[in-house]
Amino acid sequence: MKENMNDTWNEICYELKSCIFNNALEKEYEEAFVNCMRLLGWKKSKKEISTQNVIQVGHEKKYADVVALQDGIEQFVIEIKRPGHVLQPEDEKQLFSYMRLLKHQVPIGIYVGDDIRIYYDDVSTQQYPECVCSIEIVEDNPIGSQFVELFSRDNFRLQHLVEFCKKQKARLDEQNQIQAEVQKILSDEKGSIFKELLKEKYTHSGYSLEWADAVLEQITLNVSPSVRNQSIEVTPKILGVSTGDRKNRDRTRYSILGGKPLPKNRFVLEVVRLFVKNNPKTYHEYVGILNPLRQDSFGTIERLSKANEPRYFMAEEDRLQSLDGVIFVVCTQWGISNIAPVIQFANEQGYNVIPFNSDK
């Protein structure tokens, strides 16, 4: 069964990747995704697929790209944008309006662009629908196989899909709560949170408040993100960039948090890896934070499906994954002319960057 799901997903990838590679127009991409719906078992002849579905908005008519129906009742709506389109808040709001303004309001919306995103509308919260899953359009993607399982016509049960979305939303909410708590602790420069907990422990053990205060006044707590401990292999000679012969290649290496000095591109990879580890976010959020560190067409990070060697770290152990399931990679093209913003960013995160000059 899982092999069949994976095979179907790979067929969907083949259909969509052809459009992405050829930078297809939006109408062509829509037709390609309708073909993908047929691969999933939805049939136009049974009126299970409605394209350019009319939605009445006051005195104005809007047209949803694709709507899936069972027994004439809408189940989910799909908004499709051409490959290369940068998702905007207005695109999401348009999808949300379709979800709520169909004849039968639907809790599930799908956005199709360079990836596939599933949105869930929890009407009990009175908030906008949320993206609960982002699926990279790459072959043999296990999340893609799960997409096939959830949306195949023969297996489709709206309640099962809603339960999946609720679990995904709960997972995302939990991660956000964890990160909010981590940031709260890391921002407590004086360690007051831990001192209060220690004071509570001492008083519960029978010690007086005066005794606990006398102990805590004599200690200082410093809180920092956890990282893998690495030994320093090179003794620093200078704390700056070499100003010697500019014709010679700059060989400055950089250490973060006491780790071993790394070449510039590996240093950037480790900065991004550490930031991702300590700050689970969606791929869209990572792009907004990391890509401004590099003002060119490469960007600091790129989706695995769109990246090319040797401009990105493509090895499996160097790949990273966002909270919403997007696999992405880090650019390898770094030198003395463009490394400064990454150094500044790393120091702002508290990574304590130290440059090392190598004469070799």
Provide the CATH number for the domain around residue 57.
3.90.1570
In this predicted structure, what is the pLDDT of residue 34?
96
10-residue stretch averages of pLDDT, the chain, 360 residues long? 85 92 91 96 95 85 93 95 87 92 94 93 86 87 92 94 92 82 80 91 94 90 58 30 45 84 93 93 92 84 88 93 92 88 89 73
- Please state the pTM of the whole predicted model: 0.63
In this predicted structure, what is the pLDDT of residue 238?
27
Residues 89 and 198 in one domain: no
53-66 burial, b at 16+ Cβ within 10 Å, e below that, comes to: bebeeeeeeeebbb
State the residue range of the domain holding 27: 2-174
Residues 257 and 128 in one domain: no
Residues 339 and 196 in one domain: no
Phi-psi region of 124 (alpha: psi -120 to 50; beta: other; left: phi over 0): alpha
Q: Is residue 313 part of a domain?
A: yes
Q: Is residue 59 part of a domain?
A: yes
Q: Is residue 184 part of a domain?
A: no
Q: Rounded CA gap, 304 and 289, in Å?
A: 18
Residues 346 and 265 in one domain: yes
Residues 198 and 305 in one domain: no
Residues 121 and 62 in one domain: yes
Q: How many domains does the chain have?
A: 3
In this predicted structure, what is the pLDDT of residue 225?
62
Q: How far is Cα of residue 144 from the mean position of the Cα atoms in its chain?
A: 16
Residues 38 and 117 in one domain: yes
Nearest to residue 165, comparing CAs of 115, 120, 135, 128? 120
Strands 115-120 and 130-136: antiparallel
SS3 193: helix
Residues 336 and 264 in one domain: yes
In this predicted structure, what is the pLDDT of residue 358?
57
Q: Is residue 229 part of a domain?
A: no
Q: Is residue 284 part of a domain?
A: yes
φ/ψ of 339, rounded to 5, equals: -85, -20
